[in-house]
Copies of this chain bind each other. A is one copy, B any other.
Amino acid sequence: MPYDPSAFPPFAVTVDLVVLTVRRDALCALVVRRGEEPYEGQWALPGGFVGADEDLSRAAARELQEETGLRAHETAGGFPGAHLEQLATYGAPDRDPRMRVVSVAHLALAPDLPSPTPGGDAQGARWAPVDDLLGATDISHRNAGGAHKASLAFDHGRILAAGVERARSKIEYSSLATAFCPPEFTVGELRRVYEAVWGVVLDPRNFHRKVTGTPGFLVPTGGTTTRQGGRPAQLFRAGGANLLNPPMLRPEV
């Protein structure tokens, strides 16, 4: 308690980002290839140092912008942009062999982006299905059935798992699933987001009744689209409601 600010162990503080999106009906995370030791050549989560006079959330938003071009905002709704929130902080003494680094992990949820490999200052970046990234436990460069699998650098596998779990549980009781959708979307497209994130199949009819019956969740724009084929579907925007009550229920609990 006698808290002496002149004698304290020095730490480096970074932000790491779990950026999730839904591509081709699969939940994907943004990973970058490391260009230097340690873990050179392996995939890692994007991130970087927090500036000397920079707030943590601001550092996270800056990194997100640098990696994806997306602007972050707190509440789901306005587009284009991504939802950004703090996830957890990782600070095991040996998590980086070079020095003592405390990393404040953040979670970002973004709509599917046009460019497959978003621009950034990393050597390489790609969207990888989280099942591939998390399927590999510790075995580097394991190839099973043609799937590209390799464990992430540092403790980024744990961080990614925490981010995925947070996203999975949060779309239950909040309207955050709309953060994965373009500005206007159909009920079917929103349902495919839930199906991709949870890895389940939902009844289209019950889902439709549920989401359209929850006040403030969806706002009809008046337009329709047939981009999914079949009967034209109404287009919606995300409503102002942030908390869903009652929640969407994940099946088989």
Interface residues of A (CB under 8 A from B): 1-3, 5, 8-13, 32, 35-36, 46, 48-56, 86, 88-93, 96, 98-102, 104, 120-122, 245, 253
Contacts and interface: CB of A to CB of B under 8 A. Distances in A.
Contact of A5 (B13, B46, B88, B99): B99
Contacts of A49: 3, 8-9
Contacts of A99: 5
A99 B7 CA distance: 12
A50 B91 contact: yes
Contacts of A121: 1-2
Given A11-B10, A86-B88, A93-B53, A1 B46 contact: yes
A102 B11 CA distance: 10
A213 to B, nearest CB: 16
A4 B46 CA distance: 15
B51 A9 contact: yes
Given A10-B10, A49-B8, A102-B102, A92 B55 contact: yes
Nearest to A121: B1
A196 to B, nearest CB: 23
Contacts of A2: 35-36, 121
Contacts of A245: 253
